[in-house]
């Protein structure tokens, strides 16, 4: 996770909702196989969009309040925030082109 930051219930508002521009949050869990499948894609996109998007990961097992607040019912779920407002989401382990298209759309 070189370019993706870890966020929690405690710092979500500061790290994501007060960010100007694009912030992307990967809601995941250690036991989730599809989450592990897309983790390298999220990391690659975090590297490629460094300076254009803030990419974060939130472990739903340890941060249930934030997951519930955004109605995350299945993981992986990736939420896209623009200037602190939720603008889009991707649910499930999607191929890289699908995820990259969302980054391009909102960055």
* pLDDT digit string, tens, across residues 37-69: 999 999 999 999 999 999 999 999 999 999 999
Which band of pLDDT confidence, cut at 50, 70 and 90, is reported for residue 7? very high
Q: Are 95 and 82 in contact (CB under 8 A)?
A: no
Whose tokens are 């521009």? That residue is 21
| Burial readout 26-60 (b: 16 or more C-beta within 10 A, e: otherwise) | bbbeeebeebeebbebbbebbeebeeebbbbbbbb
Supply the mean pLDDT for the chain: 96
Q: Provide the CATH number for the domain around residue 67.
A: 3.40.30.10
Contact 6, 64 (CB under 8 A): no
Known active-site residue 51:
no
Please pick, among 32, 41, 79, 99, the residue that the annotation labels catalytic: 32
Q: Please give the Cα distance from 7 to 4 (Å, whole number).
A: 9
Q: Catalytic: 35? A: yes
Give the domain extent around 45. Answer: 4-106
pTM: 0.96
Catalytic residue among 16, 22, 25, 35: 35
- The number of folded domains in the chain is 1
């Amino acid at each position: 996770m070189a370019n993706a930051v870890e966020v929690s219930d405690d710092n979500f508002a500061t790290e994501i909702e007060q960010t100007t521009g694009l912030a992307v949050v990967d809601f995941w869990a250690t036991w989730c196989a599809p989450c592990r499948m897309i983790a390298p894609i999220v990391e690659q996109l975090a590297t490629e969009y460094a300076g254009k998007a803030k990419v974060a990961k939130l472990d739903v097992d340890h941060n249930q309040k934030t997951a519930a607040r955004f109605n995350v019912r299945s993981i992986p779920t990736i939420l896209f925030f623009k200037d602190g407002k939720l603008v889009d989401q991707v649910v499930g382990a999607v191929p890289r082109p699908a995820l990259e298209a969302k980054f391009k759309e909102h960055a």
